[in-house]
Structure 1
């Protein structure tokens, strides 16, 4: 599973690097920031980099808390970018309006509180339950709730684009993104899975990221095709 994590990290890093020239011109800086944050988040999900970063932060799993908030930021930026790409104004308003920002605030506060109340745990990339299983479970579930929420908000717009878009590459992008968000939403079921299903859970996490990254890359390709047609 580590190999899949490194492949995901490499893809996110390459996508961030290729956006640097346009970002320096003041174009699409959001995309470069998004891919860079994705690369950092994936890196923190790999054992050796995680332990190194966490040791620098005191060895009390603050790297895991940092990873949680990276994921929340990525989920929001990604969802807003996708909503704009598919002209989904309703989805964008839901994400950035009072309800969406309130959901983010509640999840953020709950994440910090549950992290503090579950007590100090030995530095570990996946975290291990301490004496208080309740707060540990809540902390883990909150990390999945907000990303899944953004996916639920976007899915109707993506499914409409999949059915109605006249551009094949845009339909492909919508399909890849929808698949990624469906897998992401299914991660809420992790607490119901036995411990022996950990490899399945890891595969779901990384495959959802890969679907979303390839979907974003396909949007970029679709934009290039549209610009060439406009110039022709």
Structure 2
């Protein structure tokens, strides 16, 4: 499972580096920040980096709280990016409107409160406890409610994009992103899974990340193909002004 964790981190880092030139030119900086947040999230889900960073923060699992807020930020930015890519204007309004932002604020408040009440003195990656205790369970649940909400908002948009006619790359991107969000919804069972099913929890988590990354990569490739075709058409019209 450690191999899967580091492989996922490597994939996200490569995607981040591919976005760096465009970021430095001032193009599509949202994608760069998305990949940055996701890379940090993956890194903080791996035991070695997590424990090292948590020690710097005091050694009381504060790194996990930071991880949860990174995931909140990532899922919000991702939701906005996906909604815009597939013309999901209603989905974007739901995410950035009073209800969406209100849910984000409420989930954040309960997350912090349950973190404090959990009172875990020992630094543990994943915020795991030996037994299913109330406040850690609430903390884990609240950490997944808002990301799941963004997926519920976007699934109708992605389903519609898969069904309608359009560029094949965008339809594949919508399918992969939809599967990623479906995986994200399934991940809500992780909070109640016993310790011996840790492998299943991690498989769900990392497959979600890889599916979302693959979908985002195809959205990017599709935009590159579209711009290349537009340049070719413009060049042809310049060469043949009377056609």
TM-score, L = length of structure 2? 0.92
1:27-176 equivalences in 2 (<5 Å) = 27-129=27-129, 133-176=133-176
Checking the alignment, whether the CA contact within 8 Å between 2:159 and 2:178 is kept in structure 1 is yes
Match of 1:195 in 2: 195
Q: 1:200 to 1:131 in 2, by over 3 A?
A: closer
Unaligned 5+ runs, structure 1 = none
- Off by >6 Å, runs of 4+ in structure 1: none
Compute the RMSD of aligned alpha carbons. 1.4
Post-superposition CA distance 1:125-155 (Å, at most 9, x none)? 1223379911110001111111111000000
Q: CA deviation at 1:161?
A: 0.3
Q: Higher mean Cα deviation, 127-136 or 78-87?
A: 127-136
> Would you say how many aligned residue pairs link Structure 1 and Structure 2?
232
The structure with more radius of gyration:
2
Give ranges in structure 2 of 5+ residues lacking alignment.
233-243
| Cα separation, 2, equivalents of 1:222 and 1:115 | 41
Residues 121, 128 of structure 1: 8 Å contact kept: no
TM-score, structure 1 as length reference: 0.96
